[in-house]
Chain A
Amino acid sequence: MIATFRYEFLMQIRRPVLWIVYGLTFAVIVVTFGQPYAELSMGAGVDRHDPTTAMIVSADLLMLLLPIVYGCLLADRLIRDRRLGVVGVLDATPTGHTSRLIGKYLGTCAATAVPFALAYFGRAVAYAITEGEPSALGWAVAVFVTTTVPALLFVGALALAGPLLMPPMLFQVLFVVYWFWGNLIPPRMMPTLADSILSPNSRYVAYGLFGYRPAQQPPDVLVAPDYYTYGPVSEAALNFLRPEAGVAVALLWIGVMLVLAVSVLSLARLHAIRTES
């Protein structure tokens, strides 16, 4: 498992296309969200001088588009062993399939997350310096571990396993569609998983664990008590998947991401067993 982790990490991080695509996408983010990204403020009145809030906003902005790059770059990793014809030699070693799958999963996901992490922590360091707020670095780690990592673990499993069922190009297209539909579009527009407990891009942890509050009441919140909340969206379908944010629900979301990741990987393993003829 460690051997596979090491070499899969190495092979992925060496791919020039990884750095090029991430670089371009990052440039697009900086150009499109120039102002908010420079200030780390979302809309009116988010307190950008609060390091926790700023780090949440920073992670949020990257989570808009970078997971698409992350998913697409992982799409060929699992199926390529067979395509390249390496699988025979690997299978003839006493190292088990499952431990190789886990090693590959963690190794490729970690490597693919490196540019992501560099962008995020780079911004955190810049923030810490310009704001004179070294505690931002601690918050950056905390936010990354509790929001970005669980999300990327699930998306990574999905991106490795998806191409077992279809050509990787098709998977990449569908994945992009999924990302926009299931994570980014406003829930009132159409039935979507966005902002639900199943969405890797939802903000349960930000609200539930870090007390994130946009300064203005979002217009579409169904229940509007005296604090600003995250959860059911008025007039949206699938609201049963949107419990009201809180500590428990934030932890639940992390658990859901991990369970989804493990389930997808188990399905991939089963698929491999079934196709061994």
Chain B
Amino acid sequence: MRIEISRLTKTYRGGVHALDGLDLDVPTGMYGLLGSNGAGKTTLIRILAGLLKPTSGTVHIGGHDIATTAGRLAVQRTLGYLPQDLGVYPDLTARQFLDYIALLKGIDSRTTRRRRIGEFLEVVALTQDADRRLKGFSGGMLRRVGIAQALLADPRLLIVDEPTTGLDPEERIRFRTLLSQLAGERTVLLSTHIVEDVAQTCRLLAVLAKGRLAFTGNVGELVSQADHRVWTLTTPGPAPSHGRVVAAVPEGTGMRYRLIAPTAPDPYARPAEPTLEDGYLALMETGR
């Protein structure tokens, strides 16, 4: 399902311009959405999920205009949504919670629900705990319930807002692999601050900054934002004042710094190969 966003703005009560004339095209497949805290990622996602009305602009998803009730419902029928701060009913078991969501999503057949719930509990490795009340679940386990919940209705559009926060590294990798496997003919929109997750799963991505589009393109293009701007420097002294330190590792008696700067921050600094994270940081540096 293709997402076409045009001139989208959202101004919250109190005058915060969370989105400011955003134009974005998200094709089928896996798509990354990066941006710093407060960039507007959650606002955009809540609009796409039909939870929030934009102040102006239009959004078409799979050809449906989500400003109309019919369009919104058509999208929500094939939507999997994992919010950033997912809550659950502590007094239900994992299985019951999933069953409730499945019912609300319109999966009326009991056998279908049972089968799907069993399947996805397996996928998120919660089969053992399926019949325990959710109030006893750890943060990571709750995230996994959230993930299962988003996948229940076999969504053609999957929108996940920082799904990997709070997961241990193994689970994180398992989950992002699952997301890319799901992509295929689906659209998966992954919002995150974890550049690594995008680097490992998405070919295309967008970067939001202050409610505007700071970048859109493929991963290689974002990496090249940092071309000739990444440096390493090993020094016993303090970090150079020029440039932005992105890593500092003690080495021998001194420190080995990794820096982003338009020109060499120190005569002894040596150029380094940029990563996606460097590209992202370089973009943010230019933007401010």
> Which residues of A are at the interface with B, using a C-beta cutoff of 8 A?
3-4, 6-7, 10-11, 14-15, 83-95, 100, 276-277
Min Cβ gap A188→B in Å is 46
**CB–CB B50/A84 < 8 A:** no
Min Cβ gap A11→B in Å is 5
**CB–CB B83/A88 < 8 A:** yes
Interface membership of B106, Cβ < 8 A? yes
Interface membership of B203, Cβ < 8 A? no
Interface membership of B249, Cβ < 8 A? no
**CB–CB A86/B12 < 8 A:** no
Q: Which of B50, B73, B83, B96 contacts A7 (CB 8 A)?
A: B96
Q: Which of A3, A85, A87, A92 contacts B81 (CB 8 A)?
A: A92
Which A-B residue pairs are the 3 nearest by beta carbons?
A85-B87, A3-B103, A93-B104
Chain A residues with CB under 8 A of B92: 7, 10-11
Chain A residues with CB under 8 A of B85: 85, 88
Q: Which of A10, A14, A85, A90 contacts B104 (CB 8 A)?
A: A90
**CB–CB B83/A89 < 8 A:** yes
Chain A residues with CB under 8 A of B53: 276
Question: Could you list 17 examples of A-B contacts with CB < 8 Å?
Answer: A84-B90, A85-B83, A86-B87, A88-B85, A89-B81, A89-B101, A89-B149, A91-B49, A92-B79, A92-B81, A92-B83, A93-B104, A93-B106, A94-B105, A94-B106, A277-B12, A277-B52
Interface membership of B13, Cβ < 8 A? yes
Interface membership of B215, Cβ < 8 A? no
**CB–CB A91/B50 < 8 A:** yes
Task: Report how far A84 CA is from B97 CA in the complex, Å.
Answer: 13
Max chain A Cβ within 10 angstroms of own Cβ: one of B85, B101, B146: B101
**CB–CB B86/A94 < 8 A:** no
Which residue from chain B places its CB closest to the CB of A96 in the assembled complex?
Answer: B73
Chain B residues with CB under 8 A of A276: 51-53
**CB–CB A86/B81 < 8 A:** no
Residues B13-57 near A (CB distance < 8 A): 13, 46, 49-53
Interface membership of B89, Cβ < 8 A? yes
Chain B residues with CB under 8 A of A84: 87-90
Task: Report how far A277 CA is from B51 CA in the complex, Å.
Answer: 9
Chain A residues with CB under 8 A of B90: 84
Min Cβ gap A95→B in Å is 4
A contact face: mostly helix, strand, loop, or mixed? helix
Known contacts A11-B91, A276-B53, A277-B13; A95/B104 CB under 8 A = yes
Task: Report how far A260 CA is from B86 CA in the complex, Å.
Answer: 35
Residues B79-126 near A (CB distance < 8 A): 79, 81, 83, 85-92, 96, 100-101, 103-106
Which residue from chain B places its CB closest to the CB of A94 in the assembled complex?
Answer: B76
Chain A residues with CB under 8 A of B76: 92-94
Known contacts A90-B104, A93-B76, A93-B104; A85/B91 CB under 8 A = no
Task: Report how far A11 CA is from B90 CA in the complex, Å.
Answer: 9
Interface membership of B77, Cβ < 8 A? yes
Chain A residues with CB under 8 A of B81: 88-89, 92
**CB–CB A89/B91 < 8 A:** no
Task: Report how far A92 CA is from B76 CA in the complex, Å.
Answer: 6
Min Cβ gap A120→B in Å is 26
Chain B residues with CB under 8 A of A3: 100, 103-104
Chain B residues with CB under 8 A of A88: 46, 49, 51, 81, 83, 85-87
Which residue from chain B places its CB closest to the CB of A86 in the assembled complex?
Answer: B87
Which residue from chain A places its CB closest to the CB of B103 in the assembled complex?
Answer: A3
Known contacts A3-B100, A88-B81, A276-B53; A93/B105 CB under 8 A = yes
Chain A residues with CB under 8 A of B100: 3, 7
Chain A residues with CB under 8 A of B49: 88, 91-92
Which residue from chain A places its CB closest to the CB of B81 in the assembled complex?
Answer: A92
Task: Report how far A236 CA is from B50 CA in the complex, Å.
Answer: 53
Max chain B Cβ within 10 angstroms of own Cβ: one of A90, A276, A277: A277
Which residue from chain A places its CB closest to the CB of B133 in the assembled complex?
Answer: A14
Chain B residues with CB under 8 A of A95: 104-106
Chain B residues with CB under 8 A of A94: 73, 76-77, 104-106
Chain B residues with CB under 8 A of A85: 83, 85-87
Min Cβ gap A35→B in Å is 40
Max chain A Cβ within 10 angstroms of own Cβ: one of B53, B73, B103: B103
Task: Report how far A19 CA is from B47 CA in the complex, Å.
Answer: 42
A3-B100, A91-B50, A94-B77 given; 16 more Cβ-contact pairs under 8 Å = A4-B104, A10-B92, A10-B96, A11-B89, A14-B91, A86-B87, A88-B81, A88-B83, A88-B87, A89-B81, A89-B86, A89-B101, A90-B104, A92-B76, A93-B101, A277-B52
